[in-house]
Structures are given as C-alpha cells and as structure tokens.
C-alpha cells in the first residue's frame, strides 16, 4: 500500500524494529525506514509510534527523502530513502508474539503451524507464495494464449475408482452411498477429449489419503494437461516450453529439450526411475571383469539368471566418511534391499583393502584398481546379485553417500542447478497397475497378446534433481484394447469403468497428457526443504491442521443426515467381549 | 488441429453430415466441407469416408481450395473454402448415438447427463466452456497484472464452522474426527490478510450440501477476493473494473460505476434484495392516497406499526393475462407470503373493476386511476399489510407477472441487456447471522451497544439482472468487537473460532473482500437457463453424477479405516421395534 510521491508518503503495515529515533516498517514490498520526529510539535506522534508493540499495523504519512550521504543501506531495495513522519495512526495493535518473525528464528514447526498467519509474514514464505502465484500465472498464459488450451474445472465429488484405497470418502444423504475425492481428474480429462475439448488444462486440487507420511499432503495441486491428436514427443515439447516460459528469471535459464533416458538405463546407471543427474557416481557394471577372477560368490551370482556384479565409486570416501558411515551404508543395503555390500578402499600406497583381496593376485588387484579408476582414499561399494535388486541397492547407497559427503563438506551438487530428465519406456505390464489407461508402445503391440511382460508403455515421467515432478502417457483410445487391459492384464472388473469404456466407443480421438506436481515443483524451484513451505495452510504430517484443529469431533446429530455413525474402537472391543 | 497451407491440409475430427459427394468435418474451430474424390484412384478413400459412422474421428489430408463461385456459405466461418481429399484415415469409429449432436435436439436432460461427453460436443457447450475459460483468464490477468493480487490456494479439508449445517463431512482416520468441506475460504482469506498477503484472490472450489435444490450444485466455484487497507468503495470499483476487463466483446460494453441502492430502497421498490432492474413495474406506495378513502381494512392496516398499502401495475394485463393467471398470482401471494391481494382492472370505458369500488365514490375511483396511472386493460395488484411482507409479496408478483406477460408475447426485458446493481446498507443484526465477520457501518458504531437492530453493516451484494452474483463486506479487524458480535449478538460459542479471534489480536490490518459466484455469472453472460450449462460435468438436481453413478455404495471394509458404519434406515426401524 505504499503510495510514494516526492512530497508525501502514505504507508501502512506492521512495524517490527524500533530504536530511539527510527522505526522500520514492513509491507509486502519490503522494509522502509521511518524517522520519528523529535520536536515538540510531533510529541504525540513520537509517543504513539514508540508505544506501539512490534508487529502492530500503523499508518504514517510523511515526506520521502534521500538518506543523508553515507547512511544508505545498499542491502535494502529501499535503502536509499527514509520517510520523515508527519502523522501516524495505529490501526491495530499486536499482542505478545509466540515467536519472532525473522527468518533465522526456527521455532518448532508445530508452534509455527499453530500460528501460521504469523509465519506467513516471514520474508521466505511471502517470497514462496508470491513466486508460486507468478509461476502458475505464467503457466496459464503459456497454455491459454500460446497453445489454445481451455481451462476446465472437473468435479471433486465423484465415485470411488477401482482400487482407490487412498481416496477420501464423503458421505451423501442417500443411505450407504458415498462420494469420493479423486486422486486426479484422470477420467474427466479423458472424457473431455471424447467431448471434443481437444486441449484441456486445469490447476487441479487432488486428494490422497495416505495416513501419516512425511512431506505428503492430503490435498495437493497438480497442473493437469490433456490433448487430442498428440504423441509422446508432442507432450514433452509442450511441457519443456511450459517450464521454460514460467521459469523465474532469477533462477537462471533452463535449456530444452530435456535429456531423456529409458527406464532400463535409469535403473542400470542410477538404480532408480528418478535419477538425480546433478552428480556422477553412476553405477558401474563390472560383471565382465569379475567373471574370470575366480571369486566363488561372484561365480555363483553370475551363473544365475539376471546375475550381475556392480559397484559405485565414492570419491575421497576415506577422507570424508567415517568407518561407521560405511558400515551404516552396508547395513542399509542389507535391511532395505536384502543385499550384501563389499567395500573396497584404496590405501595411500595405492593398494586395496577389502575382503576381496584375499581372492585376488597382486596383478588382479591393480587391474581392479584401474577398472574402478580408484585413487588414494577412494572407496568403492560392490554388490553381486540379481540385476534389479543390486541396482536399487546401489542407487540408494549412491544418494546416501552423496548426502554423507556433502554433510562432511564436499560439494557434489550445485544447489543452483536444475537437472530435468525424461524417463521413458516403462514396462507396460508394471505400469498398467497404476495407470490402467496408458497405451502400449505402438511397435510392441504384437507382443501384447504373446509376451506382455516385454511390452513397453507410452508412459513418461519428468524428473527434476532426482524428484519425480510429473508423469503422463499417451492413453488407450480404443475401447476393445482398454477392456482387454482391464480384464485380462489387470484382472479388474471393468463394470465400474463402464462409462469410460462406453465413451471410447463413441469416436474418441487419440489423446495423451501429463500431470505435474505443483507443490513439489515450486518447492524445488525455491529450494524449500518441504512442500509445506510453498503451501499457505499445510497440514501436519499426520494430516492435521494445527491452527484450526482439523479434523475435529462432530455430534451424532450432525452425522444423522448422512446415515453414518462412528465405530468407536473402544466400543468395538466391548462388543467383542459380549 | 487444422494446419492449413496453400497446398496441403491436415484435419482431424468427428464427422457428422454425409451426402454422396461431401462430408462435413467438425473440429473445435467449426465445420469444414470436404470433397470426397469420385475418381477410381481414390476409390478406397471414398469407400472409407462413406462407411465411417457419424461422429467417428477421421484424419484427412488434401488441398484447400476456394469453393466454386456461388457455392460459398456465408453462414459458416469456413464457408468460402473446401478441402479436396487426397488421403483419409479413420482414427476411431463411433457406435450408434443415443441422441443426435445438434443444438435443436433437446433430448431429456437425464439422457444427456448420462452421455455428457457427447453433449459436450455441441456447439453451445463448446462455446460456454471455452468462453468461461477465457473470462476467468481475463479476470486473473486483471487481478494479478493490473492490481498486484496473489493467487493463493486454501485448504478444502478443514473443520466444521459453527452452524455449518450445509457442510459435507469427510471422515478421517482418527476415530470420530471429521474434516469438513468449507462453503467458502472465508476464514483463510482473512487469515491471509493477517499474514500480510495483502491482496489475495482465488478461483475457489466451494461446497454446499443442500440436498435436492433446483439449479444448485454441491460443488461450485467462486472468484474469491480479499484485500487489506480498503473500504467498501474500493472493493466495488475493483470489481467493476474486473467485470469490465473480462467482459466478452460480443456481449457489448458495460458501463461503470454500477448503480447502487440501499437494502431498504430495494425492498421498498422491488420487494427483494436482488432487484431485476431491467424493467419497471416498481412497487408503488399508495398509503397516503388510500389513508383518507375510508376503506375499513385499509384503515386497520395503516393503524398498525409498519402498516402500508402498496401496489404494482401490470401494463396491458387484461390483454396478456388470463383471469386464471391473476387468480394464480393472488393465490401465490396468499400461500407464500400469507398476504391478501386485491386486483383492480381498468375497463375499456376507463372505469375500474375491483372489490374496492364499492367503498369508493366515482370521483375517488378516477383519482385512484390517476394515482395508479392506469389505462385501458391495465391491471393493478394491491396489497395492504406489514411493510416487509407486502413488499416481498408484491416483489414476487412483479417477477411472476413479468414472466406471464413475456410468455404471452410482450417484451419487457431485453435479453441482451445486463443490469448490474450494488445493494448496500444491509442491517447488521440480520446480516451477522450469515456473515459473522462483517463490520458494522462506522457511523452506526454508537448504536451497536444501545440499539443494535438499527445498525447498518458494511456488507454489499452485487446483483445482475435480478440474480445475486456476489457478496462481500468490510470485515471486523478488531478482536474485541468480533468477540462481542459472536458472543453477544449471535450468542455463539466463540471457542470454535478462537484461532481467528487470536489472529485478530496479532496486528490484523483492516480488510475486506468479496466473492463472485462464477457459475451463475457465466450462465447469465451466455444466456444459459441453468448453471449446469456452464459446468463440464454437473450433478443432477439430486446431487448425482448420472454419467459415473456417483455417489455409490462402498464395502464395509472400505469404511473401516475411517471408523464409521452405515446406519441403514431399515435397521433403524427394526431397532425401534425392539
């Protein structure tokens, strides 16, 4: 609300720092230094401003002036000016704050959630929410103005989807009947394509009831896109353009097209379908090299189907990691993946220390050093076993070691870097379980009925810095194929989706789309540790609103119109007793 | 998807009219006439296009050419051209349609709702949804770019508000605890003001469980706006600018500022707080004239507090209305408002016909004719009684008679006219019941504790053509006053709103806002008879989705995680028996 002119200045907002002569006022544009008049004529102004508690809302008028030479503050955007107050009014006072509204004060999150409206005044949250608004607006402009998309709102009160165990229920006034809050507008966006709204998008509120999970929210937002007559590349180019268009200038440019990797490559090189490509330490396959070393357990593994020997290299591991770090990495692989890990250390004299060395000649040891490109103080973690398990375990250790190295002071990942990546060619059979509408790869159609496990899908994931920020697919537009997938591949009752199958029979155009997780995307852009930092009123990790105490108890009378009653766990126990 | 060039043409969409030589293809841009080649070389193309059922999706390539002179169709945007097909492909066929996709075919609404994706292909629904998207986009540009508003998403899983009987419940995994789907982001928008997000807007999904009500939807959308340091006029000018900015060019310009009327004026002149000002027939107060006529029941009424005699004039009523129409109007007033109506008819000879005439001399009768400005065939409906009841009854009859006159062929309201109106100065005491956060009028603050029924509120409604399309207020920003209103005026337990009262104590800035009902606004702009015509997937008036059959039954196992069970009405009946 700053309306500045050469002569007069009108300013309204919470004040927060006071000294004898100065007052700093804050509004959404930043901070402004106010000179409190010391003369007798303004004594009431001085008294009023001096007695207003911190974070009160005040209105002042005065004259904007340049600060005296030498008193400029180059760190403040308004550091060149100050305001000489003429009149002042306290519009509302502030009682004692539960915590100071400064960024470096990190009070317990529960307290900050309880007083979320105070936390929202912090520079960081103001920045996050205002930037979020700007980014979404630019996305809309790109989709509407540059690409002819239509913003269509789809219902959130719908029916339960098959297997929709994570969907919230909403009791209706019809006895026994419930609405369901959908996890995405998937069915509606496809029905819009059938309905000839050929380019649809929505900033869609979605719901997912996962109970207590860290950094998940029961309601979240996705940028939901669907278009007709498009292929995989078409959606990918569209989304690359979208991100380029909305990308904040201060975060530096992003280059397109984004690199692309098949699911199998991602698994082999990074042990995950969402590789963090900001740093190396890729998984090395040393099966061929180790095959002829005569190590018994290696021989065994390589003799099995999908048997493999792989390793990751931890640069300067001995300098940055402690022995207990390496032990904990090995223990994690054991407990999470049931995978034994062998560590190899390169000693200062260039020789190797590992339980493998006893199987190896001196010559074999130096060959191994060369193959692994190990230098003094490097550590290698080696795993032998079934391909997918080995890759997954090493992929997990790769991230864990990177975190340990960075915690110890080595910079592996540029915090200002944004590495986008498409992951493609997922396996149709695995994919259909989550995305039953995904179309198989056209060149694999022949395999669908003969060898379905080999069929690739037209699904694609978008990954940013190792986080999945979006996923989509070209959809099945043929009713017969969709029915086959539901009934024969997924063994589902297709009756519950009869309206969609029906719709495909009425001349559905070929179509495909994608959904981007907006909360995650924004949190990565602003560098926030949690998606809670980019949501105005987030729930706690247990799904609670700590400010308004939701969810909350209701009276039995309030449940009556919905024909439901609470099954109290205690009552259940008592019922069993009788 | 039409990519036209001088030589080649690529086109994809459902076909719908066929003749021997021509095919008309439709896409989102309109219709294009396709010439089916008749030569031998293209016999397969002819066969394919001739055999594709109506509404199939086809792709054709060919050469765009001007139609032969004289064959242009000026009614079609593409009526000057035609496409000479070279290749064709049927991308998906269409089975037999349940109804024809033409605008003039008005099949039963239930059938159209069941096949909503087919209905969406109609020119009218395509226009409505695409225009809605454009209007909302322009609103966003106005708010974000021209006025610095921040788009903030607020939660829809919250807690029940006091008296929130119309809020859907969402069972949580905590036994006995429920979320509630809010009717508006009211609390959150105010908390955002406390949080320093001084200009907030959201295109907000809201929920209201009203059971079966015609032309209401259980979920609906509002343009939700709140700002700090603003007064009533500030919000009004902002919204006038917003509507002017987003107004579709083809609907003609709208002029600002909108006229304004107090609640008392609206009641006195139109008998409602949402006057349709597109036509006259205003309520006339004839208390003074009738006072001295010596009619017994009039004398009685005028002797009572708030006693009044009022009338509405129905021009040419005898020519356009039947006797039974007038009887039904009188009966409606009796049954809905418990208000007797006396009709007065001006006969061709200028004399009056009415049960009043027996109380009146010839001279008094012609005076009455003059006062009421009656001419031959005019009808006047007269009511005597308590001010509010008389006004409400006559206001209702005014609309009903206008509908009857128009049904009989008289044009009273220009269907292309848009009459906006602000209604202001509602009574604080009545208003607070629905809007407990509305601030009293500053000049009436003194009356708040002494004579609260006289206090006016800072609430304002926006009315368009007799429909309330928005409402808002300047809010209470003082915790003490808010507590007084909740506890003393509304006699509510303020504990449930303690987080809001708390927030007001931490330096809340003065603030106010408004919410516009988007569905209703768009339906008025496009001239749709129902808001269902501007929503992609509306519910039926019983709250059902007829396409996907929502709400639907769920298994007891699905209810278990939420600690609820269904109270079947039959089971209840049986329980009562025992």
pLDDT in tens, B432-447: 888 899 999 999 998 9
- Give the nearest partner residue to B152 out of A478, A503, A536, using CB atoms: A536
Residue-number span of the structural domain to which B314 is assigned: 279-407
Which residues of chain B from 227 to 286 reach within 8 Å of chain A, CB to CB?
A: 228-229
Do the Cβ atoms of B117 and A509 come within 8 Å? Answer: no
Mark whether B79 and B126 lie in a shared domain: no
Mark whether A87 and A133 lie in a shared domain: no
Phi, psi of A491 (to 5 degrees): 55, 40
- The shortest C-alpha distance from A517 to chain B (Å) reads 14
pLDDT band at A163 (very low <50, low <70, confident <90, very high): low
- The shortest C-alpha distance from B461 to chain A (Å) reads 25
| Interface probe, candidates A26, A228, A246, A507, chain B, greatest B C-beta count within 10 A | A507
| Interface probe, candidates B507, B522, B540, chain A, greatest A C-beta count within 10 A | B507
Contact B543, B211 (CB under 8 A): yes
- The shortest C-alpha distance from A424 to chain B (Å) reads 25
How many CB atoms lie under 10 A from the CB of residue B435?
A: 18
| Interface probe, candidates B139, B208, B550, chain A, greatest A C-beta count within 10 A | B550
| B510 contact residues in A (CB cutoff 8 A) | 57, 91-92
Answer whether residue A258 shows pLDDT above 90: yes
Mark whether A60 and A116 lie in a shared domain: no
The pLDDT value given to residue A4: 42
Mark whether B155 and B212 lie in a shared domain: yes
The pLDDT value given to residue A20: 65
| B554 contact residues in A (CB cutoff 8 A) | 160, 169, 178
**pLDDT tens figures, B98-119:** 887 765 456 688 889 999 999 9
Which residues of chain B from 443 to 502 reach within 8 Å of chain A, CB to CB?
A: 477-478, 499, 502
**pLDDT tens figures, B71-80:** 888 887 788 8
Closest chain A residue by Cα to residue B546 = A499
Q: Does B56 touch chain A (CB under 8 A)?
A: yes
Query: Per mean pLDDT, which of A241-245, A345-349, B56-60, B214-218 is the most reliable?
Result: A241-245
Answer whether residue A213 shows pLDDT above 80: no
Q: What percent of chain A has pLDDT over 70?
A: 93
The pLDDT value given to residue A371: 93
Phi, psi of A305 (to 5 degrees): -65, 135
- Give the nearest partner residue to A172 out of B173, B551, B562, using CB atoms: B551
Domain boundary among B92, B120, B139: B92
- Give the nearest partner residue to B548 out of A97, A158, A559, using CB atoms: A158
Q: Does B2 touch chain A (CB under 8 A)?
A: no
Rounded-to-integer distance, Cα A460 and Cα B437, Å: 48
Q: Which of A48-52, A456-460, B462-466 is predicted with the least confidence, judged by mean pLDDT?
A: A48-52
**pLDDT tens figures, A92-122:** 999 888 887 765 456 688 889 999 999 999 8
Closest chain B residue by Cα to residue A221 = B153
Mark whether A88 and A120 lie in a shared domain: no
Do the Cβ atoms of B120 and A196 come within 8 Å? Answer: yes
Residue whose entry in the numeric block shows the structure tokens 């000179």: A35
The pLDDT value given to residue A392: 98
Q: What percent of chain B has pLDDT over 90?
A: 69
Average pLDDT in the A142-148 region? Answer: 97
Instruction: For residue A332, give the 3-state DSSP assignment.
Output: helix
Average pLDDT in the A187-210 region? Answer: 95
pLDDT band at A7 (very low <50, low <70, confident <90, very high): very low
Rounded-to-integer distance, Cα A163 and Cα A76, Å: 54
Rounded-to-integer distance, Cα B82 and Cα B100, Å: 24
Q: Would you tell me the crossing angle of helices A123-141 and A518-526 to the nearest 10 degrees? A: 120
Asked if residue B562 is part of any domain, the answer here is yes
Mark whether A517 and A555 lie in a shared domain: yes
Mark whether B77 and B154 lie in a shared domain: no
Mark whether B151 and B83 lie in a shared domain: no
Closest chain B residue by Cα to residue A204 = B205
Average pLDDT, chain B: 90
Q: Does A165 touch chain B (CB under 8 A)?
A: yes
Answer whether residue A226 shows pLDDT above 60: yes
- The shortest C-alpha distance from B420 to chain A (Å) reads 26
Domain boundary among B34, B63, B92: B92
The pLDDT value given to residue B22: 83
Asked if residue B465 is part of any domain, the answer here is no
| B506 contact residues in A (CB cutoff 8 A) | 55, 94-95, 97, 115, 117-118
- The shortest C-alpha distance from B5 to chain A (Å) reads 19
Answer whether residue A11 shows pLDDT above 80: no
Please report, for the domain that includes residue B39, its CATH number.
Answer: 2.40.50.140
Rounded-to-integer distance, Cα B578 and Cα B574, Å: 7
Asked if residue B190 is part of any domain, the answer here is yes
Rounded-to-integer distance, Cα B127 and Cα B133, Å: 10
The pLDDT value given to residue A103: 56
Average pLDDT in the A129-157 region? Answer: 98
On the question of a cis peptide bond just before residue B551, with omega within 30 degrees of 0, the verdict is: yes
Burial B366-394 (b: 16+ CB within 10 A, else e): eebbeebebeebbbbbbbbbebebbbbbb
The pLDDT value given to residue B81: 87
Residue B271: left (phi > 0), alpha (psi -120 to 50), or beta? Answer: left
Q: How many CB pairs under 8 A join A and B?
A: 355
Domain boundary among B377, B407, B437: B407
The pLDDT value given to residue A27: 78
Query: Mapped to the 3 state alphabet, what secondary structure does A81-138 carry?
Result: EEEEEEEEEEEECECCCCCCCCCCCCCCHHHHHHCHHHHCCCHHHHHHHHHHHHHHHH
The pLDDT value given to residue A220: 97
The pLDDT value given to residue B5: 38
Rounded-to-integer distance, Cα A287 and Cα A284, Å: 9
| A135 contact residues in B (CB cutoff 8 A) | none
User: Residue B265 to residues A131, B268, B271, B445, B467: CA-CA distances in angstroms?
Assistant: 45, 5, 9, 22, 17
Query: Per mean pLDDT, which of A184-193, A539-548, B81-90, B206-215 is the most reliable?
Result: A184-193
| Interface probe, candidates A146, A506, A511, chain B, greatest B C-beta count within 10 A | A506
Asked if residue A496 is part of any domain, the answer here is no
Closest chain A residue by Cα to residue B230 = A1
Strand pairing partners for B382? B311, B342
Mark whether A315 and A371 lie in a shared domain: yes
Closest chain A residue by Cα to residue B506 = A94
Asked if residue A397 is part of any domain, the answer here is yes
| A505 contact residues in B (CB cutoff 8 A) | 94-95
The ipTM assigned to this model is 0.93
Mark whether B211 and B324 lie in a shared domain: no
**DSSP character for B53?**
P
Mark whether B59 and B132 lie in a shared domain: no
More confident residue, A10 or A487: A487
Residue B392's closest CA among B501, B306, B512?
B306
Closest chain A residue by Cα to residue B180 = A551
Do the Cβ atoms of A27 and B198 come within 8 Å? Answer: yes
Q: Does B104 touch chain A (CB under 8 A)?
A: no
The pLDDT value given to residue B7: 36
Answer whether residue A19 shows pLDDT above 80: no
Question: Where do the H-state alpha helices sit in B263-344?
Answer: 263-270, 287-291, 296-303, 317-320, 323-337
Mark whether B77 and B15 lie in a shared domain: yes
Residues of chain B falling short of pLDDT 50 = 1-12, 16, 104
The pLDDT value given to residue A450: 87
Asked if residue A207 is part of any domain, the answer here is yes
Please report, for the domain that includes residue B214, its CATH number.
Answer: 3.30.930.10
More confident residue, A295 or B131: B131
Please report, for the domain that includes residue A340, its CATH number.
Answer: 3.30.1360.30
Q: Which of A204-213, A343-352, B291-300, B567-576 is predicted with the least confidence, judged by mean pLDDT?
A: B567-576
Domain count along chain B: 3
Rounded-to-integer distance, Cα A59 and Cα A34, Å: 11
- The shortest C-alpha distance from B309 to chain A (Å) reads 43
Q: Does A28 touch chain B (CB under 8 A)?
A: yes
Rounded-to-integer distance, Cα B1 and Cα B4, Å: 9
pLDDT band at A577 (very low <50, low <70, confident <90, very high): low
The pLDDT value given to residue A574: 65
Do the Cβ atoms of B176 and A559 come within 8 Å? Answer: no
Q: Does B121 touch chain A (CB under 8 A)?
A: yes
Q: Does B70 touch chain A (CB under 8 A)?
A: no
Average pLDDT, chain A: 90
How many CB atoms lie under 10 A from the CB of residue A450?
A: 8
Asked if residue A460 is part of any domain, the answer here is no
- pTM summary value: 0.94
Rounded-to-integer distance, Cα B337 and Cα B272, Å: 13
- Give the nearest partner residue to A159 out of B1, B155, B548, using CB atoms: B548
**pLDDT tens figures, B367-405:** 999 999 999 999 999 999 999 999 999 999 999 999 999
- The shortest C-alpha distance from A71 to chain B (Å) reads 28
Dihedral (CA of A47, A49, A50, A52) sign: positive
Asked if residue B485 is part of any domain, the answer here is no
CA angle (A471, A389, A354) in 5-degree steps: 130
């Amino acid at each position: 609300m700053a309306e500045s002119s050469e002569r007069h200045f009108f300013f309204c907002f919470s004040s927060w720092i006071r000294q004898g002569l100065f007052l700093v006022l804050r509004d959404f544009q930043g901070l402004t230094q106010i000179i409190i008049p010391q003369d007798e004529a303004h004594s009431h102004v001085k008294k009023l401003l001096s007695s207003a508690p911190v974070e009160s809302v005040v209105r002042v008028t005065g004259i904007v002036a340049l600060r005296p030479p030498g008193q400029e503050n180059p760190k403040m955007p308004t550091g060149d000016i100050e305001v000489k107050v003429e009149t002042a009014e306290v519009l509302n006072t502030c009682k004692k704050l539960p915590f100071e509204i400064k960024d470096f004060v990190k009070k317990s999150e529960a307290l900050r959630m309880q007083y979320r409206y105070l936390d929202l005044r912090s520079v960081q949250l103001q920045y996050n929410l205002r930037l979020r608004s700007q980014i979404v607006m630019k996305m809309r402009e790109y989709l509407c103005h540059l690409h002819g998309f239509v913003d269509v709102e789809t219902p959130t009160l719908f029916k339960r989807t098959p297997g929709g165990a994570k969907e919230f229920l909403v009791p209706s006034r019809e006895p026994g009947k419930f609405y369901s809050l959908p996890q995405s507008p998937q069915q509606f966006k496809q029905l819009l394509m059938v309905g000839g709204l050929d380019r649809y998008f929505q900033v869609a509120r979605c719901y997912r009831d996962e109970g207590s999970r860290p950094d998940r929210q029961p309601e979240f937002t996705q940028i939901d896109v669907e278009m007709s007559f498009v292929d995989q590349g078409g959606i990918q180019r569209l989304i690359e353009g979208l991100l380029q268009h909305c990308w904040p200038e201060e975060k530096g440019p992003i280059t397109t097209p984004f690199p692309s990797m098949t699911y199998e490559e991602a698994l082999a090189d990074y042990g995950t379908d969402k590789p963090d490509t900001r740093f190396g330490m890729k998984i090395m396959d040393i099966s061929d090299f180790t095959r002829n070393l005569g190590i018994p357990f290696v021989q065994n593994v390589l003799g099995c189907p999908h048997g493999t020997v792989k390793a990751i290299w931890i640069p300067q591991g001995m300098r940055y990691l402690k022995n207990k770090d390496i032990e904990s990495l090995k223990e994690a692989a054991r407990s999470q993946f049931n995978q034994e890990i062998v560590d190899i250390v390169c000693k200062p004299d260039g020789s190797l220390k590992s339980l493998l060395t006893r199987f190896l000649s001196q010559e074999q040891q130096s060959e191994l050093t060369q193959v692994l490109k190990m230098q003094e103080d490097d550590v290698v973690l080696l795993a032998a076993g079934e391909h997918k398990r080995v890759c997954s375990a090493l992929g997990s250790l790769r991230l864990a070691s990177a975190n340990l190295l960075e915690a110890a002071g080595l910079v592996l990942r540029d915090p200002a870097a944004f590495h986008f990546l498409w992951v493609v060619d997922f396996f149709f059979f695995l994919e259909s379980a989550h995305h039953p509408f995904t179309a198989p790869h056209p060149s694999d159609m022949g395999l669908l009925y003969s060898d379905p496990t080999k069929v690739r899908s037209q699904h694609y994931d978008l990954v940013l810095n190792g986080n999945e920020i979006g996923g989509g697919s070209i959809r099945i537009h043929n009713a017969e194929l969709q029915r086959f997938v539901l009934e024969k591949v997924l063994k589902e009752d297709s009756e519950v989706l009869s309206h969609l199958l029906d719709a495909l029979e009425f001349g559905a155009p070929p179509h495909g789309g994608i959904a981007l997780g907006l909360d995650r995307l924004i949190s990565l852009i602003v560098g926030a540790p949690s998606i809670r930092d980019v949501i105005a009123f987030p729930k706690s990790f247990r799904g609670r609103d700590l400010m308004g105490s939701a969810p909350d108890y209701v009276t039995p009378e309030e449940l009556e119109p919905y024909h439901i009653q609470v099954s109290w766990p205690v009552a259940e126990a008592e019922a069993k007793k009788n």
